[in-house]
Structure 1
C-alpha cells in the first residue's frame, strides 16, 4: 500500500505531544470570550485522561461525546484517543430516540455529556433517551434499552444520582476522583499503536440503522498530515470552523488539520449568521469551512450585510466581481474515506476554463481511484461515466457490526455509490447510485425516516425521497398511504417526525395518496420517479 510519510509513529498521543512541542503557544481555538492554546488543550486532556483511567476506562472502551463546538469537545476527544479508548462523537441535533439508537449501535460504555445542551435540560433529555434512568442510582448501570452503557459523566452537576462529574475545563481542578499519575499515563500512551481504533463516526445507513465507519490512529493521523499539506494549510492560517465536528468533515478538515499544522480554529457553540460574521471580521481568517450550500448562503448574507469586509482574506472576493462557484474546484469524499479523496490541492483559487466546469478536483496523493461499469466491474476510459471506487491508506478499517465483505470488495476497493468520470486528470461527480438523501452535507437514510412515519397507526406505507433543492442540494419529501379506514393528518405527522428525528430529516413536503391511486411499476412496486415528480410539483407550487 502506498503510504504518505510522516516523521513520527502515527498515533494520537504522539500527534498531540508533537503539536504541543511545535505550536504550544499558538491558539488552537478562539470563540467569543475564550482563547485556548495547544498547550492548554494538551494539559487539560492529560488531566482528563488520568480521570478517565481512574474511572476504569481502558484501551478499546467506547466513549461517546455529545458536545457542541467548543473546548470541551476538543479536550474530550484528545483525552479519549490519547489513552487508546475509542471516541464515538454524537450529533448535537439528535432527538432522544436517535441518541439511544446511536449509543446502542455503537456499544457505548461511557457517555460524556454537558450539563446543558442548546438550552435543553440535559438530565431530562437523557431520561427521555434512556427511560430506565428515572429510577436509577449511581453507576455502573445495567439498562435494558442500552445493554452495554455503564456510565454517564457530566461536566457539571445534573442533580441526578446516575451521573458522575468530570471537569473538562482549562483550569487545573478535577472531579476529585483518585488521580492516575503522569508516569502511568505515559505508560498507557506508549501502548497505543497505529492499528488501534481511534474513533467510530456514525452516519445514516441505507437500512435505517446507523452506519459506523471505524478509523484507526494510523489512518487518521496520516490523512491529517497528507491532506492538510495537499490543501496548502500552514500554522499561519486561521479557519472559521462551521463543519460539524461530530461528522467526518469537521473532525478531519478542522480538528485534525489544526492538530497537524498548528493553525487556529474559530467557532461558535451554535451557528448564527450575524455572530459568525462578527467573529470572522474580528479574527480575519483565511478560510471559512462549511458545507457547500450553507457556505454560499452565508456568503450571500455577508455580501448583503453592508459590513466592511476589507482585509478579511476569506471574504476578499466578495468585494470584487462575483465568483462563479462552478469554475472553482469542489471536493468529493465520504465518511468511509476519512473525508475528501479529491480536491483543489495546488490549484486552490484557480479560475477554471469552461470545459472543466463542475470539477471535483485532483485525486488526493496516495489514494487510488477507479471508475468502473457498475454492472460488469470493468474499468472505463476517461470521460466515461461509471461508479467511483476508492482504495488506500485513508479508508476505514471497516463498518461497525458489519463483515468485511459488506464494506469492501475482494481486492479492497470501496464501492462509493457515487457516479462520475475523469477528464484530463480531474474528477467529475454526477450523482449517486443509491437513494441516500444529501441535504446541506448531511446524509438522510430514507428508510430511517420511513420507519418513523410508519410507526403511526394511520400510515400504512411511507416512501421518502430526496427533492432537488438549489440551496440545500436536496430536501426530504414523503408520500404516505393511509391505513384502511384512516385519514392522515399531515400536521400531526410532521409533529411526530420532529419528536423522533433531527430537524433536517423531517419531511418538508408530504403527500397522502390512497393505495388505489399509488403509481406503480410493472413489478407492482411504487413508481418512485412519478412520486418524486409529484413532490417536486408540490415544492414548486409552494415556492411560487
Structure 2
C-alpha cells in the first residue's frame, strides 16, 4: 500500500499553516457569524500561542487537551498545539463533570486550554466539581485525581478566572521570550510520522476510545476529501458537525481549509439565524442533517432569500427544492474515526441495477477485505462477513491499547461493520452485535431497514429488538413517514410481507412524522428515546 502523492506543503500542521498563510494569507479561513479570521490571522495567532506553550515546557509529544466549540478559537488552538509537535486532544463540549475528568485522565493531558462557558455549559464549574481538591490549587496543579494535569488555561467570556487557572491572553504573553527563529526550529523537527491528535469516538455503544492519528495520514486524507469534492479558494462551506469529532474536524474544518476554502460556523443551529448566515456569507457548500433543511425552508421568508451561491453539499438540493432522487441509484460513502474520513467513496453516476444500495469502492490508499466473523478468514465475493480495512489513513492505534488488541496479524483493522463486497463495491448489512434474535432466527436490522425504505412514503426508519418472554426478542420499527404520505401500519406490514420472511416483519410498529424524531443536543438521533417509544408502543 503506497502513500498518495504529496501535498504542496510539508505534511505537518506547521507546514500546512505556513503555506496557506503565504499563499492565501488575506483570504477568509473561519467565519463565526459576525467574526471572520483570515489564514494569515490564524497563522499569527496560533504562532503566538505556540510560543507560549514552548515557554511553559510544552514540546513534541506533550499531550494538550482543549475544549472549544466550533469557531475561530478552535482553529487557533488546534494549530498552536500541533505546529510544535504537541498532540492535540479535542474535548467534547457536551461533557458533564465525570466525563470531562475521565477524558483528562485517560489521555494523560498535561494541560487543558478551555473556554470558560458555552451556551448553558459552565466548564470551570464542572472542573471544580469533578476534580477533588482543585479549589485549593494555584496555577500549577498537582492532584492525585489527575496526576499528569499541571495547568488550565482559560479564555474568558466575561467571568473571573479562578486561582487554579491562567487567563489565555496573559499566558500567551509569555511567548514573547521565544523568538520566531526558535519557533521555526521547533517546527522543523516535526515530521509527517509524528502523532498529531487523539480523537475520541462518541462512545454511543461503549466507553469512548482514543484514536491516534499522525500528521501525514490525517492531513493527506482530509486534503484529499476536500479536493475530491471540488473545494477550493472560492468556496465557503457550512458544516455544523462538532469539530471535536472526526465528522467536523476531518470532513468540515480540515478538508475545507487545507484546500484554501473557508468554513462557516455558528454557536448553534437556529433556523432563522442560520439562514441569515448562509445568505450573508454566500455559502457555496452546505452540509448537515436533512431535518435542518426542513427547518430552514419553514422560515417564513425563505422563498425571498438569495441562496444562489449554493452549488454542493447534501443540504443544497433539499434547500433549493431539487429532488435527491432514489439514494440507492448512486453509491454513498462510509467512514469512521479510525479511518480519518470515508474509507469508501461514492459514485456520481447512476449504478447498474445489480449494484444499487452500495456504499462505494475503497477510497484511494485503502484496502478492504471481508472475513468470516467466526474464523477470521477471508470469504469469497458476495458472502457476508466483517469488513476489515488497511491503508495509510487508518489510525496508528487506540491510545492505551496494545497493537495486538487493535489490529489483526496481517495489519488489517476489523471495523465491526458487517457487509458484502460485490464487483469491488461494499454493501453494508449491519453491525456485529446488532442482530435481532427472534424465535431462534437472526434478523439483520439493516435488511429490514432497506426493505422499509423501499416503501413509498417512508422517509426514514429505525429498527431494534425488544425483549419478549416467548421469542427472546421481537423486531420493532419506528417509521418516519413523509409529511405528505398517507400510510398506515397495516399498509407497511403488507408491503414488507411481500419482500421479507414473516419473522423479519416488525411485530411492533410505530409511525412518526419527521418533527417527532427525538434528537440529542449533538443533533444525532436519540436512539434510546426511540427504543423507549417502541417499548411504550409494545405496551
Same fold (TM over 0.5): yes
Residue 300 of structure 1, aligned match among 294, 299, 303: 294
CA shift, 1:275, in A, is 2.1
- What's the secondary structure of 1:167's corresponding residue? helix
Show CA shifts across 1:138-164 (max 9, x none).
21x111211111100011363311001
Change (3 A) 1:207 1:106: farther
CA shift, 1:540, in A, is 3.8
Residue 250 of structure 1, aligned match among 231, 244, 248: 248
- The two structures have a TM-score, normalised by structure 1, of 0.76
- What's the secondary structure of 1:215's corresponding residue? strand
Instruction: Kindly report which structure 2 residues correspond to 1:101-112, keeping only aligned pairs within 5 A, or say none.
Output: 101-112=102-113
Show CA shifts across 1:281-312 (max 9, x none).
2233232233xxxx111122233335136513
Asked if the contact 1:59/1:83 (under 8 Å) is kept, the reply is yes
Change (3 A) 1:122 1:205: closer
Asked if the contact 1:284/1:313 (under 8 Å) is kept, the reply is no
* Paired position in structure 1 for 2:332: 330
Change (3 A) 1:329 1:277: farther
CA distance in 2, matches of 1:128, 1:378: 49
- What's the secondary structure of 1:99's corresponding residue? helix
* Paired position in structure 2 for 1:138: 139
CA shift, 1:467, in A, is 8.1
Residue 538 of structure 1, aligned match among 523, 535, 538: 535
* Paired position in structure 1 for 2:6: 6
* Paired position in structure 2 for 1:148: 148
CA distance in 2, matches of 1:105, 1:343: 33
Asked if the contact 2:478/2:534 (under 8 Å) is kept, the reply is no
Show CA shifts across 1:167-207 (max 9, x none).
39xxxx94456531111100110111111110001125599
* Paired position in structure 1 for 2:284: 286
CA distance in 2, matches of 1:467, 1:146: 44
CA distance in 2, matches of 1:339, 1:13: 21
* Paired position in structure 1 for 2:495: none
- What's the secondary structure of 1:261's corresponding residue? coil
CA distance in 2, matches of 1:505, 1:351: 29
CA distance in 2, matches of 1:274, 1:41: 29
- What's the secondary structure of 2:386's corresponding residue? strand
- What's the secondary structure of 1:221's corresponding residue? helix
Give yes or no for the alignment of 1:122 onto 2:120.
Answer: no
CA shift, 1:70, in A, is 1.0
Unaligned runs of 5+ in 2: 436-444, 446-474, 481-520
Instruction: Kindly report which structure 2 residues correspond to 1:87-486, keeping only aligned pairs within 5 A, or say none.
Output: 87-139=88-140, 141-156=141-156, 158-167=160-169, 174-175=172-173, 178-204=176-202, 208-290=206-288, 295-305=289-299, 307-308=302-303, 310-311=307-308, 312-314=310-312, 315-316=316-317, 318-324=319-325, 325-344=327-346, 347-348=347-348, 350-352=349-351, 355-434=354-433
Unaligned runs of 5+ in 1: 439-465, 472-500, 511-531
- What's the secondary structure of 2:210's corresponding residue? strand
Moved more, 335-344 or 412-421: 335-344
CA shift, 1:34, in A, is 0.9
* Paired position in structure 2 for 1:462: none
- What's the secondary structure of 2:201's corresponding residue? strand
Instruction: Kindly report which structure 2 residues correspond to 1:22-101, keeping only aligned pairs within 5 A, or say none.
Output: 22-101=23-102
Number of residues paired by the alignment? 451
CA distance in 2, matches of 1:248, 1:93: 16
Where relative contact order (Cα < 8 A, 6+ residues apart) is larger, the structure is 1
CA distance in 2, matches of 1:380, 1:232: 36
Asked if the contact 1:509/1:538 (under 8 Å) is kept, the reply is no
Asked if the contact 1:342/1:361 (under 8 Å) is kept, the reply is yes
Asked if the contact 1:67/1:113 (under 8 Å) is kept, the reply is yes
